[in-house]
Structure 1
Amino acid sequence: MASIPFDTLKFVKTLEAAGIPASQAEAFSAAVRDSHESVDVATKRDLKELEVSLRHDIGDLRKEMKEQELRLTIKLGTIVVVALGAFTALSKWIV
């Protein structure tokens, strides 16, 4: 995660232009800067990277599900063939 960019000098100059004494403006600026440093926020870039990663993971899962589907289809087909063979053999043996 990234920190929020904060221009302390511009902030102080804005407060001073509004009539706040320089010492108070600097104290406000330091307080805001410190609060920004302690916050862990997601940027648009962070979210974009997460989106790309999730899309990649979802693509991998879809591919894996297709492979599993093919394996299950083959197993089911094998079971059906074996069952039909067993029924055919039993029907010839019984009759």
Structure 2
Amino acid sequence: MATITFDTLKFANTLKEAGVPPAQAEAEATALSDVLEVNLKELVTKDDLRHEVELLRRDMYDMEQRLVIKLGGLMAFSIGIVAALVKLL
């Protein structure tokens, strides 16, 4: 999970310097810190994406193998039908 540091003191001080009352500045800093903490828990990381890509690659490989087997069976069946028709004619 990604770790992002939010400096509430610096944020509150910046608001105070801009003329925001101290109590409001501190409350806004705390509220923003809480929001960021909740939202960052669901943040996807590069490792998460790499893992999902690897799973997709495995699935694609498995599907490719099944498709090759099915197509090979269909070709063998078709050749058998053609051979049978050639014998009959």
TM-score bracket for this pair, using the shorter chain length:
0.5 to 0.7
Partner of residue 67 from structure 1, selected from 49, 65, 68: 65
CA distance change for structure 1 residues 84 and 25 in 2, over 3 Å: closer, same or farther?
closer
Task: Give the gaps of 5 or more residues in structure 1.
Answer: none
Q: TM-score w.r.t. structure 2 length?
A: 0.64
1:15 and 1:88 map into 2 onto residues whose CA distance is: 90
Q: Does 1:14 align with 2:8?
A: no
CA 1:37/1:50 → structure 2, altered by over 3 Å: closer, same or farther? closer
Give me the CA root mean square deviation.
2.8
Q: Distance in 2 between matches of 1:13 and 1:39?
A: 24
Compute the TM-score of the two structures, normalised by the length of structure 1.
Answer: 0.62
Distance 2:28 2:76 in 1: 75
Aligned length: 88
Partner of 1:52: 50
Letter paired with 2:64:
K
The residue number in structure 1 matching 2:5 is 5
Letter in 1 for 2:24: Q
Pick the structure with greater CA Rg. 1
* Aligned-partner residue type, residue 36 of structure 1: L
Name structure 2 gaps, 5 residues minimum: none
**Residues 34 and 47 from structure 1, CA distance in 2 versus in 1: closer, same or farther, beyond 3 angstroms?**
closer
**Are the equivalent residues in 2 in contact too, given 1:3–1:37 (CA < 8 A)?**
no
C-alpha change, 1:75 and 1:11, in structure 2 (3 Å) is: same
Tell me how far apart the structure 2 counterparts of residues 64 and 75 of structure 1 sit (CA, whole Å). Answer: 17
